[in-house]
Structure formats: C-alpha cells, structure tokens
Structure 1
Amino acid sequence: MTALALARMGCDIVLNYVNSEYEALTLAETISRLGVRATAIRANIANELEVGELAAEAQQWSRTGTIDILINNAGPFIRERRLFGEYKEEEIVSLMSGNLLGVMLLDHKLLAGMRQRSWGRIIHFGFGHAGEGRAWPHRAVYAAAKTGLVSFTKTLAVEEAPHGITVHMICPGDIRGDNKERTIAEVIGQRDEESPLGRPGSGEDIARVIAFLCLPESDYLTGNIVDVTGGFDPIKTTIPK
C-alpha cells in the first residue's frame, strides 16, 4: 500500500523482498502501469552483505544514482510468546540484525546520496508505544531492537536536518494478514473488539501517514515517533510464566 501511494505521487519504486518473489514482481508490474518505473530486488536485511548489495543495486537502477526516499520497514518478528531465556542465540542475532543493525546499515549506505542532493526522507518502523520504552514481556529481543531504533531515529533526525533529510518512525497497530493490503474503505465495516476505534487498521492507514511525511512541504517535521494504532496498546501487562 505504501509503494502504491508513493507511486501515485510520481515516485519510481524499488521493492525489496526475501521470500515473496511472486508478490513483489506482481506489485512491480502493477506500479509500472501507473506511469512510473518499478523493480524488485531480493535481499535479507538481516545479512550485512546483502544490505550492501541491495543499496548498490537500487542506486544503480535509479535514474539519478541515488535513493531519495527510504521506507526502512523490513524486520523479522516471532509471534510466538517466549521468555528471553527461551530464545536461541541465532534467533537473538537475527532479530537484532533485522530490526536494528540492518536498518542502520541501509541508512548509512544511502545517506551520502541524499546529502549530495540536499534532500531525503527516511521512515523507520516500530510498534505501538515503542517511544515509551516500556517492558514488553515475551517480546524482549524485538522490543529491545525497536526501542533502540527509537533513539537512533531521533538522533539521525537531528544530525541530518541541516542536509534537508527528515527521519521518522511509524508505529503501526496490530494490523494482520490481508488487512495490511486493504484500503480504509475495505475495513471500515469490520469490527475489531480489541481496537478502541472499533475497526481494524489497514495498509492504507499506514501508507497515508508515510505519504504525508514524504512530501516536500513536510520538511518542518522530523524526529517524530508516530503511533498509527487506532488507540490499540500492544503491550499487555502480564506475569511471565
């Protein structure tokens, strides 16, 4: 939904995928019919070498040799509830690399081009209420990576503001399954008992906020942690067992 929203604004689009090749290629074809260019590149953001390959290939494909808008939203998540001691070491490394280190590395590789053009937009992804840094039992690794990303987002925003680059974090609510690819109109009649708003969130809810933050006129906004949750709080107060 975000890719389509930006394409409708006239942006050429580079799509990144790991396993969903068919979906990525299909979306690229759809975007191309909107009158802009689109391509899909496979890379695992948790792998340092593949991050470099993704950045290089994307910049080579770009008309200008740079990336102006980076939606840095990739990130592994384990939905099964576990205590920290129950994680395997390789899972800890993967979650931290995919949700924090990979994000930082991709930002780092694309910053020079944005600075060169004195313009850029960077969007990170967190979770609802990530900015508060609260305890999240059974999500220790993921939460640590994302709350670390909160500080990095704010710091990078301050450092890059003189270069015309803004940086934000979008924190979606519990938007699951097909709703990630639906419009607001398509979910407006559904009922979500866990949402204070009463309806589930949709991909369009997220895409609209991102599109606004990427506008040239949104340059006075930077360093924000934006909850797009419908009031939902994903961090339940629980007693670990």
Structure 2
Amino acid sequence: MTNNVFITGGSRGIGAAAVLAFARAGYNVAFTYNSHPDAADAVRRQAEEINPGGLYLAIRADAGDPAQVRAAVARTEQELGSLQVLVCNAGIAQVKLFTDTTDEDWRRMMAVDLDGAFYACRAVLPGMIHRKYGRILLVSSMWGQTGGSCEVAYSAAKAGLIGLGKALAKEEGPSGITVNVIAPGVINTDMMAGFTDEDRAALAEETPVERLGEPDEIARTMVFLADEASGYITGQVLGVNGGLVI
C-alpha cells in the first residue's frame, strides 16, 4: 500500500526537502504553499522526477486560515485517499525586540506557527482515528526549547508546538496515532538570508559539529518518524541541531 502524506509549507526550505524525501520514500505527497507558486511548482516537478509513479499535489492555502487548511485536507483526501502522515511545517520567523513587537506581529506569528498546526491536526485526525493509524510530526525549533533573544514571539509559538505535541500524543496514542516534535537547530534555509557570512561562521563555530544543518537532514528525520516501524516513539522532542542544544 502506498502511504499518503500532507505537508504544510512545502515550497521552500525544510518543507521542500520534506516533499522530496517523502517522494523518494515512495509516498504520495500533498503540500501547501502560500506566497511562492513558482517554487511550489518546481518542487512538485522535482518530486515527479524522483518518483514518476507517485501522485503530487501543490495546494495554495494559508496555514493560519482554518477554512483554507480544512479545504486543502479535504481535497487531498479526495484526490489521494486517506492520509497516514501529517507534517506541520509551515512557519514564519521574525527577529525583533519584544518591546517593538506589535499586536499584528504577535497574532500573525501565532496564527501561522501554532494555530496552523492545530487546524491541520484537527482536519486530519478524524480519518486517522477512524482507521486507528497515523503519524503526526510538528516542526518546532531549538528556540522552542530554550528561547531566543529578539525572537520572543517565534520562541513562544514554537514552544506551544512542543506542548501541543506532547499532550496530543497522550490523547491519541490509544487510537494508534503517534505525535512527535522535531526541533531543528540552525538550518541552511531562506530564514538565514538576513545573516552575514560572519554570522553564519560564528553559528557554525558555536555548534559542536562545526557546521550548519541542511534541510534534507530534517527531512530524513521526518521520514524515519513517519515509518510504521517507528510506532513506539511518541510524545518526543527530537533535536536535530548538531549538538547546539543538549
């Protein structure tokens, strides 16, 4: 049986790597994007090249809009069939002093990074509960574990994902559903675009393995946790950070 995965925020960075990793592993993949249709189409075409026998959907949907998330999941289930795996990856980041953070900044951060995971989980869970099987993966951050200066809103939203994942794992375990959280460290994605070469070098030096992480390293972790053989792992926060947070 071919498994189906739904990934939020799949057009760039970790999300794009996840789409390709799941395609490589033989999954049918549906993923959402919001602002980058060309990038989403390019990822979909790459997935088709990796596994021409798979089915791939790129669906425009704002992760922070419950109606759009619900519609995206419904379309996926209609076109691909039942979902075995959900990856809540959609997220935004902002570097800003806490005292300069506006109400709008705070609400948008929570809407995309935390509320979006709630909406996606709520949409897929009825089917997973009915089938007594599911894998849910939430992408947090090392700042959700430790907090990041000048990233208070982001840290709060990512910490919320950790609480959501742990609690949901307890609630859905009896239904054959595992829920785990991945907390990436400093990963070489578009979110690093504002950092200078000196900043990148300093971050690499601070990391025990002395380099930044790559999106594919997070994606391979997702595929591992999504596997049927990983059914005894649930409610965990797996730091993929090169030892920066231990």
Question: What's the TM-score once normalised by structure 2's chain length?
Answer: 0.82
Query: Aligned residues, how many?
Result: 218
> How do residues 76-87 of structure 1 correspond to structure 2 at under 5 angstroms?
76-78=92-94, 80-83=95-98, 85-87=99-101
The alpha carbon displacement at 1:129 in A equals 5.6
- Pick from 97, 105, 109 the counterpart of residue 119 of structure 2: 105
| Preserved contact between residue 122 and residue 167 of structure 1 (Cα < 8 Å) | yes
- Equivalent position amino acid for 1:91 in 2: D
Aligned to 2:6: none
Counterpart AA for 1:44: D
Aligned-residue sequence identity (percent) comes to 31
- Which sections of structure 1, spanning at least 5 residues, go unmatched? 181-190, 234-241
**What amino acid does structure 2 have at the position aligned with 1:82?**
L
> Match for residue 88 of structure 2?
72
Deviations 1:64-116 (A, max 9, x none): 2x2211110001111x3322x31121111110111111111110111011112
> What RMSD over aligned residues (CA atoms) do the two structures have, in Å?
2.1
SS in 2 for 1:121: strand
What are the ranges of 5 or more consecutive residues in structure 2 without an aligned counterpart? 1-16, 193-202
1:218 to 230, 234, 238: 230
Higher helix share: 2
SS in 2 for 1:193: helix
Residue in 2 aligned with 1:23?
39
Distance 1:138 1:129 in 2: 11
Tell me, yes or no, if the aligned pair for 2:184 and 2:239 is still in contact at 8 Å: yes
Report the alpha carbon displacement of residue 50 of structure 1 after superposing the two structures with TM. 1.7
Q: Shift of residue 179 of structure 1? A: 10
Shifted more, 19-28 versus 52-61: the winner is 52-61
Return the offset for 1:166.
0.6
Q: Determine which of 6, 18, 23 is the counterpart of 1:7.
A: 23
2:12 corresponds in structure 1 to none
Once the two structures are overlaid, the 10-residue window that deviates more, 26-35 or 88-97, is 26-35
Q: TM-score, normalising length from structure 1?
A: 0.84
Aligned to 1:184: none
